[in-house]
Amino acid sequence: MTRYLLSFVFVCSILLAPHTIHAAQCTWDRDLSLGSRGEDVRALQVVLNADAETRIAVAGAGSPGSEGVVFGTKTRNAVIRFQEKYAADILVPAGLSKGTGSVRAFTRTKLLNLCTHQVDAPAQTSSALPPSLTVSAPPQPASTLALAGAWGLPFTTIALTAGPSDVEVHSITIERAGFAVDQVFAGAYIEDDAGEYSSDEKLFDSNHRITFANAFTVPSNTTKTLTVYGSITDDVSSYEGQMPMIRIVGIDSSVPAVGTLPMLGTGHTVNGTITIGGATAVRSAYDPGADQSKYINDTAVRFSGIRITANSEEDITLKSITWDQAGTASSADLANVVTVVDDNAYPAEVDGRWYTTTFPNGITIRKGYSADVHIRGDLLPSGAKRTVKFDIRESGDVELYGQTYGFGVNMWAAGNTSDTGNSVFITSDGTTDGDEGTPFYSGASIEILSGGFISIGR
């Protein structure tokens, strides 16, 4: 597919190529993983989307009809489902029990086998009007203080409007600007206002730039508004009074675009004298505390949990939590999965192995006080002989905001740490002083047994 790089003002015209795959394109001669780019990624997405069990389920980049050249998190999750569906051909020969999300030798062989049996999809017809992408500047965020340890500080907002056809945006490039140094930032990321897109958080490079290659789609005749957010380093004592800014300097898209770049956002003043809130976490009393065995048809099984305590600086708000189901069970083996906060249950939205609970009004945790958060659900018969293991992949998957200053705040483990194991917080050296590991919290492994019977005699 022809691609266009928008750096300043430009107008081009070309028709969007069809999202199809032909037998000659069934070639995967390299390994693919998160961040890979190329036509072989598009071919991969087409094969995944041909099966309801493995397709990229969430609308947007990579979903059926919107296949693209960027290997993102949704593609990784779909690859995991693909590997676990064809475990006998992919995982067993590799000595694995669960999908990795990376496309290597056994996965490529299975893809090739399936691809050569697919029928080419019909080509798309062009619209009366050529596809287009319009770039504009909505009102920018208000200027405020950049405080040590704050994340989710909005810098620059941009609006992308698609014409008569869907538009795939491959990447967005930003640049640090203003009177400041890159070291003010602990990272930056992009999110849309609808909560449908979020990039990875990255550091500025030696050219003061970041390119976010998390592709997404702007549906036809709609506008997607995105904001660039910055995270401020924990120690800003050397940067007092600086005013960092962020400008958007490049958009790499699949269709012609009209707009003006660079687009400069708002400057915020670095202040190191105000201390914002934060939180610590330990294992919840509702967590199993060790690996366990349960039976099919058991209900309200407690899988994993943490206890969050707000520090003494400000009240905090718990907005959402995302759990990573890293066991061998699939979402079809579980039912009525909810996140429970202090005895109140909230539904979890499922996307493959990811279970996200969003609290519409947020849950307040007063400074110096705690909240127990755990996940539970029912075990279905189809899950027999499988395992359930709910982890928290990284501390940022627990979304916390301070109520005094409105910034996102950090959370770190204050106990139950180890460098390996289950029902523990993983750190680099196994202590609370170590760097955060992966996963941030490693939940207990629950083995699902097929059941038993009681013999009654006389």
Cα separation of 317 and 328, whole Å? 33
What pLDDT is attached to residue 5? 41
Convert the pLDDT of each residue in 251-260 to its tens digit.
999 987 778 7
CA angle 301, 57, 36 (to 5 degrees): 110
Percentages of the chain per state (helix, strand, coil), in multiples of 5? 15, 40, 50
Say what the pTM is: 0.60
What pLDDT is attached to residue 59? 63
Convert the pLDDT of each residue in 193-246 to its tens digit.
887 888 888 999 999 999 999 899 999 999 999 999 999 998 999 999 999 999
What pLDDT is attached to residue 194? 81
Report the b/e string of 13-51 with b at 16+ CB within 10 A: eeebeebbbeeeebebeeebebebbeebbbbbbbbbbbe
Convert the pLDDT of each residue in 396-413 to its tens digit.
899 999 999 888 898 999
Question: By mean pLDDT, which of 37-46, 173-182, 240-249, 299-308 is the weakest?
Answer: 37-46
